[in-house]
Every structure is written in structure tokens, then in C-alpha cells.
Amino acid sequence: MNIEEFRKEIYHNAEEDYGLCPPPISAQKGLDILIEHFLGDDWYTPLSLPTEQCNTEAIGAILSMYPKKFNWFKRLISKLCKLVT
């Protein structure tokens, strides 16, 4: 889903006009959109789990695919500053 499709979907399904602010969506709908975007619309878990546990698996899969970048330079400076003080 691209940004235009996302906007079209949330504004089309809005029950009222929210002015300058975007209409709200449920947390589950938001997570479903992110799962489709990052993992693909064919992602599934082979286990028969409740929705909340499937969410946990999806978040784990997303975090493993897109790990936070580690800043080695920042860590080095931090250690050097601790040695100096």
C-alpha cells in the first residue's frame, strides 16, 4: 500500500469530517497495514494463534528484517568521554 492508497482508504471509511486532522483508525487496522507493507500481503503464521500473538510474531519479523542501525562512532565517543572523566 502506498501513501495515496492509505489516505484514500482512511478518508473513504471515515464516519465524519475531522477537518485538518486525519480520521482515526483502530490499532489493529494500523498494524495490519504495516504488516502488509513490510512483510507483504501473503505473510501468515502457520500456527493457529489468537490475533494478539500473531501481532507479536509479525512485529518480531519486522524488527528482524529492519534492525535498528548501530552507530559505532557514537559508541566510541561515549567510551572515550567516560575514560577522560
pLDDT on residue 14: 85
Parts of the chain with a pLDDT under 50: none
pLDDT on residue 41: 87
Q: In angstroms, how far is the first alpha carbon of the chain from the final one?
A: 50
- Which amino acid is located at 59 in the chain? I
Please report, for the chain, the start and end positions of each structural domain, with discontinuous segments joined by +. 3-84
Report whether 36 contacts 1 (CB < 8 A): yes
Count, residues in the chain = 85
C-alpha distances (whole Å) from 59 to each of 46, 64, 72 are 16, 9, 25
pLDDT on residue 85: 67
